[in-house]
Structure 1
Amino acid sequence: MKKTLLICLMGLLCLPISTLNAQSKVVESPPGTDLVYQPGIPGQEGESSSARRDGTEAYFTLRTEIYSSSAISSLLHWELRELELDTRYDYSFLQQDTLQSSPGTFFSGTQGKQVSESRIPMGESIGRFHLWDGQHVLLENIWIQAGDSLAVLWDQTTSKLMLSGPDADKIRLQVHLQELDMTAKANLNPAMILSDVKRILDSPEKQEEYNRISEQYRTGWTRKMLWLDSEEERINRASQLLKLSGTEGSLLSELKRYRNEIDTDLYAWLHAYWTGKLRKEAMEFIGIARPQSRDWAELLLRYGMQSEDISVANDWKVAPSEWTESVYLENKLLEKVSPVSFFYLSATLPESLRDQVDALYLIREYRNHTQSDSLFSAVLDRMHTPWVEDYLQNIYDSNIAGREILNYPLLDSDGSEVFPHSWKGKLVFLDFWLSGCGSCLKFAKNNFLPLIQSYAAHPEILFVTISGDSDAERWRKSLESGLYTADSSLDLFSGGISHPLLKQYQIQAFPTQLLLDKEGKILRTGDFPSTLDGWSQLIDSYLASPKSVSTSHPITP
């Protein structure tokens, strides 16, 4: 079985760095042999394995048995992610493959099943594992350790999944915690943030229906919509979410019950992962609530993570990305509602965690800074975590002004490929948009379409629109509407945010703009004007300048 080892750098694409022969085989054990007690299981002590990034060697061993009533069973696919920095932009070290099964045999007790065994090389001590059968997810967001072995028995006829093997218990625990999390969310009443509940309950009939539902409400049995039209109600909701993410929450209490039954390192990792995941959700809610008063700062400080919880990162090369993101979001919120800066807050963190949090800030926020090149340099200068530094350096190098744009093809309305290098010779205004996006419509109406009309006769500028839609038919209907584009613009289809060009420049929010010079090199990626006059002045300055980069305007990589 051939397996491609991929590394996702710069959020641009998965670059193949090596091709390995995955050691896959069909295991034919003596009848009645239980995998738990079978000696010499690959991936455990005594087995040779692939080189890890720290110089040692280890594997994760996965055995599968698939039962299907059809003559041909579908194939299982797996994915392993390590060194995750930002899951939004897919910054991670990725391996993925399809399991190649062989028919089971009478003597191995697997007749009528498809059997496989794969040894998956691991470069780190822990990684995030996914396993699926077509559209059917079997295991998701499961943390495995180097040296683990797991047997998966999958009955496609009944959709039943069974786990066995030396390390099945730690996987079952994680599945159990996921079920608890889903149950807790199902029991949490949905909430809507609005300025005045009367805008919703605007008739006696609606008010009467809501009163009836409220009277019949029973915790854990029925649900009701909560209207959060006051700051006090929003703070109470945030407090509830933060409590669930702490020791008062049922999920972490349940995890604590197993503290002495699983590996110490795995327990610490799972505790950080679930704490981060739950706190991240709480921080996202607080961000939506648009906090302004110091009451929010007091709330965040009251439910802040304890120093002993954070100190575990002192011994880690990498922390769970959910934990990192929760700290990033919390520091951003504290910066907003208190006089303390983001980087002052992150400076108090353990070194490796600080580097990940600072890197996440740069990845998410650099477009909003007028001097982001200086910011990048300052953070890189104090960076002490090599793998994080490599990610940031690649992002910086690929987005800095003067770099040539990636020459990956896009499709025009006829389905023909259009390459960015074909735009050379003109100043290029790139507008990334999405069908149904209200902000895209607003930008097109107030800025983009008037600019196209204003520069229609100018021979040195080209307006290019790139849709982030994944549905080509929807894109074509949007083009026909004339609300996003004009007859004189070059309108292209990307197929979605997974396109290398959108990944390269972290295009996940719409609308987003880029400016290219006549040589196809980046002029600007952010810090653009908000008015039509501002855009006109910016474009005129580049058209009037004989150089690729105008020194009269700050360049934002």
Structure 2
Amino acid sequence: MRDLLVLARFGARHPRTLLALRWLSGWLTRIPGLPVPQTAGSQPDLISAGEWISSGPAPAKRVEGFEILDFFVTFLVKQKSKAKKKHGCGDPGKTVPLQINKGRSAITRTSPRLAFLHNRSRLSWLAPTFLCLLFLNGKVAEAQTMGGGPSAPLVLYGEIIGDHYEDTLSIRVHEGYLGQSVFMPRPESYTLIPYAGDGRRGLPGTLAFSFSSKPFADFAYIHVSGAKSGVLVEHYMALPGDTVGIRLDRHANTVSFSGPHADRYRLQRELESAQGSYLLDQPAVLAVSNMERFLSRAPLEEGLPYGIKAFHPITGDSAQLNHIGRLLAADYRRHPGYEVIERYRGKVDPDFLAVMEANLYGTVMKSAVFGFNVAKKSDMGLWTGLYHSGIAGLPTGLFPPHTAYRAHHFTDFLLEKAIAGFIAGGPHPYAALKAEADPLLRDRLVTKYLVKYFERIAKREEYLLDALGYVADPQSRASLVQYRDNLSVGREAFPFVLTGIDGGEVSLASLRGKTVFVDFWFTGCQACIAYHANTLKPVESHFRGREDIVFLSVSTDKDIRRWQNSVKSGRYSSPEAVNAYTGGLGIDHPLTKHYNLHAFPSQLLIDGEGRVARVSGMQVGPGELIGILEQTINKKP
């Protein structure tokens, strides 16, 4: 660091040093996340460090790394004529905060003359090196303490090593994330085309990328995947202002992280690996209703090689109770993830670590409680006894509310426990969750329950309207309002346009004047096959030849050939239906996004005036569904 200071002060008297610093100044302008001046045309501009220093309030405390940055920028100003010729000059860019700390003391410098560089096409793989040089004695701060501070973007940069030299990256930043099966609020989605490294932008033989999200507050969970490279990061928690590098090596099958906030992502990667090890050690227990029938279809092999797993079928209340009882009684702290948690104490922010620990606890415990909830129960007395002896006493107050609401696996556990209590004769899950003392945690839990289980809740509309009377958390309320607006009976249906089996368009406008029953499905969905066989086929036969109703079968398959083959198979649809699919967009089609469809099969009923008649309650027997459709057809305007 002293050497860098010497370079900054005396570089003008040393020709070789001057050349080196000129070269450095060119590379510095390409480092994503490093504060450099911006012109109105988004081109870097090296300007007077004195102007920058005087443009904001004096900090309460200076740190050595920041002082060296001052000296370094001041020296680079002497090369301004070269920068002008190469980049031009103009007005300063946006005001962006730079946080730097030394130990636990932190300062924030906000300058209109320095801004984060968001030029995605100018990635330098020397970024981590120069960040280390500039802040050797003053490290980059934690982006923000959890639950406080302003909104800020997430900055990702990285490289992919593999056999493919072109790819498309999909990045989702899910602010206020409620869980994997809850798709509200909708994430911000981005598509990024990495570029082949040439030594100047990325290393040869790699695909390089650089990305900056829209600013977000509090926390988000992120997903990064490549069409050819596969998943890089799946549902990792990010804080506003995080800057992290990702290196995916497909040859070695490894993912590595670098940058000022890499430890957060290394922690989550190691927890992911620990969960894989934990699952590998668990027996593959499978509950079956008829053991003889199961074994006749899939006889068990004897003498499998060491380490090769096979299903361990169990049947009957007694066997299932014993299995779930063992899971509930096991010491959850024997999970290898707790060793990871201990290794990272002192390395990452304690609040962030607490969320990771809450998620780990939720991951372990929710699987056992979920097993209780979905098990087929013959003797309710025995199952109620297991609830009171093994589930009712499971601790839920291990983490404070501000930690719990950010940990989606932990809130999954809280939901499953509330459902288990209802099964055992306790209060309805909605009432139990509404009774949560902390308002923010209550709002998140109630919203998650209503959105996740809406189709299964008998009084869903009543609970939804009731929740809107007290839910105050902005994100939760926005999700509930959107759900109400999208699903409410009597509103104009979404004006969809789909791709038909013949390649033409199938639109709501083209079906005007007819009652439209829409069935959503995807290839491989066993429940979709069963619904078509047991309910839709008899109903379609009943209405065969009628001109006042149309059955619209919509697949969310992304592969057109797969969809066409499934239609031809007759297992998901029939010739009586109008067959369409979401054009390769899957559940990201505007229609499925509008109605927040993520569980299948799902149904939608639209009357002849193009208004929503029903959004739920149609997974019933053929006779009941025929009655619902006849009532809608005969409804007077």
User: For this structure pair, what is the TM-score category when the shorter chain's length is used for normalisation?
Assistant: 0.7 to 0.9
1:524 partner letter: R
Following TM superposition, by how much is the alpha carbon of 1:83 offset from its aligned partner in structure 2, in angstroms?
A: 0.9
1:137 corresponds, among 213, 221, 231, to 231
CA contact (8 A) 2:160 2:248 kept: yes
1:281 partner letter: S
Following TM superposition, by how much is the alpha carbon of 1:356 offset from its aligned partner in structure 2, in angstroms?
A: 1.6
Match of 1:39 in 2: 135
Listed as ranges, the matches of 1:49-60 within 5 Å are 56-60=150-154
CA contact (8 A) 1:245 1:279 kept: no
Measured in 2, the distance between the counterparts of 1:64 and 1:475 equals 35
Is 1:416–2:512 an aligned residue pair?
A: no
Match of 2:173 in 1: 80
Following TM superposition, by how much is the alpha carbon of 1:488 offset from its aligned partner in structure 2, in angstroms?
A: 4.0
CA contact (8 A) 1:192 1:228 kept: yes
Q: Which has the higher strand share?
A: 1
Deviations 1:60-113 (A, max 9, x none): 44343566799x56576544322113432422432534275685768x997887
How many residues are matched? Answer: 513
Give 3-state SS (helix, strand or coil) of 2:177's partner: strand
Is 1:229–2:315 an aligned residue pair?
A: yes
1:96 corresponds, among 178, 190, 196, to 190
Match of 2:410 in 1: 323
2:347 partner letter: E
Measured in 2, the distance between the counterparts of 1:488 and 1:75 equals 39
Measured in 2, the distance between the counterparts of 1:397 and 1:512 equals 18
Match of 2:284 in 1: 190
Listed as ranges, the matches of 1:320-359 within 5 Å are 320-346=407-433, 347-359=435-447
Q: Give the greater-gyration-radius structure (CA).
A: 2
1:404 corresponds, among 469, 478, 492, to 492
2:176 partner letter: L
Indicate the larger mover: 460-469 or 35-44: 35-44
CA contact (8 A) 1:101 1:115 kept: yes
Give 3-state SS (helix, strand or coil) of 2:518's partner: strand
2:270 corresponds, among 151, 154, 176, to 176
* Cα distance change, pair 21–301 in 1 and its aligned pair in 2 (3 A): same
Match of 2:371 in 1: 285
Following TM superposition, by how much is the alpha carbon of 1:126 offset from its aligned partner in structure 2, in angstroms?
A: 2.9
CA contact (8 A) 1:435 1:474 kept: yes
Measured in 2, the distance between the counterparts of 1:162 and 1:435 equals 35
Match of 1:249 in 2: 335
For structure 1, the 5+ residue unaligned runs are: 3-19, 548-557
Measured in 1, the distance between the counterparts of 2:169 and 2:625 equals 51
Match of 1:555 in 2: none
Measured in 2, the distance between the counterparts of 1:288 and 1:46 equals 42
Following TM superposition, by how much is the alpha carbon of 1:449 offset from its aligned partner in structure 2, in angstroms?
A: 3.4
CA contact (8 A) 1:130 1:139 kept: yes
Following TM superposition, by how much is the alpha carbon of 1:520 offset from its aligned partner in structure 2, in angstroms?
A: 0.8
Match of 1:307 in 2: 397
Give 3-state SS (helix, strand or coil) of 1:381's partner: coil
CA contact (8 A) 2:351 2:403 kept: no
1:534 corresponds, among 604, 624, 628, to 624
Measured in 1, the distance between the counterparts of 2:551 and 2:138 equals 57
Following TM superposition, by how much is the alpha carbon of 1:412 offset from its aligned partner in structure 2, in angstroms?
A: 1.7
Following TM superposition, by how much is the alpha carbon of 1:233 offset from its aligned partner in structure 2, in angstroms?
A: 3.1
CA contact (8 A) 2:555 2:580 kept: yes
Deviations 1:489-540 (A, max 9, x none): 3222235433332333344444433221111110111223734333333333
Measured in 1, the distance between the counterparts of 2:570 and 2:308 equals 46
1:452 corresponds, among 537, 540, 544, to 540
1:259 corresponds, among 334, 345, 348, to 345
Deviations 1:154-191 (A, max 9, x none): 55665554433333333222222211111111111211
Deviations 1:302-346 (A, max 9, x none): 56234232xx11x36952222222211221122112332213321
Following TM superposition, by how much is the alpha carbon of 1:195 offset from its aligned partner in structure 2, in angstroms?
A: 3.5
CA contact (8 A) 2:513 2:608 kept: yes
TM-score where L is the length of structure 2: 0.69
1:361 partner letter: Y
* Cα distance change, pair 450–38 in 1 and its aligned pair in 2 (3 A): same
Following TM superposition, by how much is the alpha carbon of 1:436 offset from its aligned partner in structure 2, in angstroms?
A: 5.7
CA contact (8 A) 1:362 1:376 kept: yes
CA RMSD of aligned residues (A): 4.1
Measured in 2, the distance between the counterparts of 1:132 and 1:272 equals 26
Give 3-state SS (helix, strand or coil) of 2:372's partner: helix
Following TM superposition, by how much is the alpha carbon of 1:481 offset from its aligned partner in structure 2, in angstroms?
A: 4.6
Match of 2:53 in 1: none
Measured in 2, the distance between the counterparts of 1:158 and 1:286 equals 40
2:602 corresponds, among 512, 531, 535, to 512
Measured in 1, the distance between the counterparts of 2:540 and 2:163 equals 60
Measured in 1, the distance between the counterparts of 2:172 and 2:217 equals 15
Measured in 1, the distance between the counterparts of 2:319 and 2:634 equals 55
Measured in 1, the distance between the counterparts of 2:142 and 2:275 equals 38
Measured in 2, the distance between the counterparts of 1:95 and 1:446 equals 37
CA contact (8 A) 1:85 1:388 kept: no
2:590 corresponds, among 496, 500, 512, to 500
* Cα distance change, pair 63–471 in 1 and its aligned pair in 2 (3 A): closer
2:384 corresponds, among 258, 282, 294, to 294
Give 3-state SS (helix, strand or coil) of 2:588's partner: coil
Give 3-state SS (helix, strand or coil) of 2:158's partner: strand
Measured in 1, the distance between the counterparts of 2:167 and 2:567 equals 39
* Cα distance change, pair 200–369 in 1 and its aligned pair in 2 (3 A): closer
CA contact (8 A) 2:491 2:612 kept: yes
* Cα distance change, pair 489–121 in 1 and its aligned pair in 2 (3 A): closer
Measured in 2, the distance between the counterparts of 1:285 and 1:68 equals 40
Measured in 1, the distance between the counterparts of 2:619 and 2:214 equals 49
Match of 1:163 in 2: 257
CA contact (8 A) 2:172 2:222 kept: yes
Measured in 2, the distance between the counterparts of 1:249 and 1:242 equals 13
CA contact (8 A) 2:369 2:416 kept: yes
Match of 1:22 in 2: 118
CA contact (8 A) 2:166 2:196 kept: no
Give 3-state SS (helix, strand or coil) of 2:333's partner: coil
Give 3-state SS (helix, strand or coil) of 2:236's partner: strand
CA contact (8 A) 1:514 1:526 kept: yes
Measured in 2, the distance between the counterparts of 1:183 and 1:46 equals 30
Deviations 1:262-320 (A, max 9, x none): 211111111122222333333333333235421331255356234232xx11x369522
Give 3-state SS (helix, strand or coil) of 1:361's partner: helix
1:272 corresponds, among 358, 376, 379, to 358
Give 3-state SS (helix, strand or coil) of 1:272's partner: helix
Match of 1:10 in 2: none
Is 1:463–2:548 an aligned residue pair?
A: no
CA contact (8 A) 1:243 1:303 kept: no
Measured in 2, the distance between the counterparts of 1:529 and 1:68 equals 46
For structure 2, the 5+ residue unaligned runs are: 1-31, 33-41, 43-115
Following TM superposition, by how much is the alpha carbon of 1:483 offset from its aligned partner in structure 2, in angstroms?
A: 5.5
* Cα distance change, pair 252–232 in 1 and its aligned pair in 2 (3 A): farther
* Cα distance change, pair 138–36 in 1 and its aligned pair in 2 (3 A): farther
* Cα distance change, pair 415–378 in 1 and its aligned pair in 2 (3 A): same
* Cα distance change, pair 79–475 in 1 and its aligned pair in 2 (3 A): closer
Is 1:546–2:632 an aligned residue pair?
A: no
* Cα distance change, pair 121–471 in 1 and its aligned pair in 2 (3 A): closer
